[in-house]
Amino acid sequence: MTRKIVIAIDGPSASGKSTVGRRLAKRLGYRYLDTGAMYRVAALKAKELSIDSDDEDKLARVCAGMEIVFVHDGNEIKTFCNGKDVSEAIRKPEISALASEISSKKAVRDILVEMQRRMGAGGGVVAEGRDIGTVVFTEAELKFFLDSKPEERGKRRFEELMEKGIRVSLEETVAEMKGRDQRDRRRKLSPLHKAEDALVIDSTHMTIDGVVEKMLEEARRRISQGGNCQK
């Protein structure tokens, strides 16, 4: 039987983690764990219930009651929370901002990290986020840190939002991206940084297919060798 490993993909917003992560999971027949979507669902719930983003007790209760499921739908992955499809609602800019804010709360992280570990138990999973290789799955057999220039990432996010009919300006999107990067990198809890044993991929001048192929090649090597990450 083929060994099923855990593949961690970390990196800043819109570095392409979700797109390549989904494709990589599909090619390997692995489950896909979008941890950013989980923080987004928590933000959506907090907003729906008008919970103050500083009220950690209430936020924790909401998080503990969330049952999140990711479902493959063609090339897409749908996010369900307690049976409801929230895939679109969690991508709205106001939810992005709130997700960034509440993801810095310890009570929220403690619950979601635990949930992520349960969802990844047994391997055969591609998990993406900010702290996957550094906190959630420190023993992951393969770790990537996917990065690219903020202007390029802002442009990609802008095009993604336009496609979904969400009207924003490019300048606004790039500025929002830089702000979120700073918050994610400077926060006290689980700041975004590269795990020592992660392989860095800079996707600024790479196509999505190029990134996926590179990751796939590395994944197959690790699966067959059973070795640890090398820098």
If one asks whether residue 176 binds ligand DC (CB under 6 A), the answer comes out as no
What residues numbered 136-175 form the site for ligand DC, per CB under 6 A? none
Q: Where does this chain touch ligand DC (CB under 6 A) — which range of 30-38, 139-147, 148-156, 196-204? A: 30-38
If one asks whether residue 86 binds ligand DC (CB under 6 A), the answer comes out as no
Is the Cβ of residue 135 or residue 223 nearer to ligand DC in the bound state? Answer: 135
Q: How far is the CB of 163 from ligand DC (least distance, A)?
A: 16
If one asks whether residue 180 binds ligand DC (CB under 6 A), the answer comes out as yes
Q: How far is the CB of 127 from ligand DC (least distance, A)?
A: 8
Instruction: Give the three-class secondary structure for 69.
Output: strand
Rounded CA separation 69/43 (Å): 16
Is the Cβ of residue 78 or residue 223 nearer to ligand DC in the bound state? Answer: 78
| Cα-Cα-Cα-Cα dihedral sign, residues 100, 102, 107, 112 | negative
If one asks whether residue 100 binds ligand DC (CB under 6 A), the answer comes out as yes
Q: Which residues of 172-191 are buried (b: 16+ CB within 10 A; e: fewer)?
A: ebbebbbebbebbeebeebe
What's the first-to-final CA gap in the chain, in angstroms? 28
Q: Which two structure tokens, joined as six digits, stand for 67?
A: 């049952």
Q: Which two structure tokens, joined as six digits, stand for 94?
A: 């106001």
Instruction: Give the three-class secondary structure for 111.
Output: helix
Residues that bind ligand DC (CB under 6 A): 13, 35-37, 39-40, 99-100, 103, 129-131, 180, 184
